[in-house]
Amino acid sequence: MTYVKGKKVLIVEDEKDFLWILREGFNNQGLSMLYASSGEEGVVLAKEENPDLIIIDIGLPQMDGIAMARKIKEEGGNAKLIFLTNMKDAEHVSEAIDISGEADYIVKADIRVEDIVARAKDKLGLK
């Protein structure tokens, strides 16, 4: 892989249409992008590739995004986290933020893909 800006981003999203939209949004950003469609696959890729940032859908089947992030942290992963969801309740926000005090929480319906890209770049310290 070529790392134009030296940063690697893992996106874990099971909705194929939304994953495609995210891929298009991140296209030509100079970042090395990795993609997974399940929590299990995300854990494996995070361990193998050690990304700088992981964008995780909370509503993943089998292993949800919060369980996935917890497992990555337990195994020593130190990637920054952005959680994506359609859930707005305080319990999910609190649980996601507890995993990493620096995690962001984005409600998909409330934000444009360009804003997700901008938030990711900000988390990575890129302009």
Q: What percent of the chain has pLDDT over 90?
A: 46
Q: What is the pLDDT of residue 12?
A: 96
pLDDT, average across residues 75-97: 77
Q: What is the pLDDT of residue 28?
A: 74
Per the model's pLDDT, the better-predicted residue between 103 and 73 turns out to be: 73
Q: What is the pLDDT of residue 63?
A: 93
Mean pLDDT of the chain: 85
Q: Between 3.40.50.2300, 3.40.630.30, 3.40.50.2000, 3.40.50.300, what CATH number should domain 8-123 receive?
A: 3.40.50.2300
Q: Which two tokens stand for residue 1?
A: 């892989």
Which one, of 89, 90, 93, lies nearest residue 65 by Cα?
93
Q: Which two tokens stand for residue 72?
A: 């990555």
pTM: 0.87
**Residues 53-79: b if buried by 16+ CB within 10 A, e if exposed:** bbbbbbbbeebbbbbbbbbbeeeebeb
Mean pLDDT check: name the lowest of 22-31, 33-42, 50-59.
22-31
Domain ranges of the chain: 8-123
